[in-house]
Structure 1
Amino acid sequence: MSDALCVGVCMIDWDSGVCLGCGRTPEEIDGVPVAPAPAQTPAKVPLPANVAAQVGEGAQ
C-alpha cells in the first residue's frame, strides 16, 4: 500500500485491487476526505483590438 494522497486519478485495477492513481485499496479510499482546490482568480486577458473597439476595453 502507498501512503500517497489522492492525485485525482481514481481508477481501480480490479486484478490487483488498488487504485492506479494512489495505490490504495477501495476500502482505504472510502471515506477519506479530499482537500478542496484553492480558489484561483482568473487572469485578466485583454480583449482583441477589434472587439475592444466595438464594446470598450472594460467590457470583459
Structure 2
Amino acid sequence: MNDALCVGVCMIDWDSGVCLGCGRTADEIDGVPVAPVTRPAPAKVPLPANVAENVGEGLQ
C-alpha cells in the first residue's frame, strides 16, 4: 500500500467506490493483496543429435 497518497481525509464515494481524499478504491486503501504475475517456465530445447552423441543430454 502506498500511504504517501493518503491526505488524511477518508471519505468513500460509494457510487464510484473511490476515496474523495486520495482517489484510491477501498481495496487499495485496505491493502487487499493482488495476485502476482506468473510467467511460464522457458521450454527445454533438446540438443541436436550430433551434440547429444558427443556430450550426452545433460541433467534434466
Q: Is the TM value for this pair above 0.5?
A: no
Instruction: Calculate the TM-score normalised by the size of structure 1.
Output: 0.43
Which has the higher Rg, Structure 1 or Structure 2?
Answer: 2
* Structure with the higher fraction of residues in helix conformation: 2
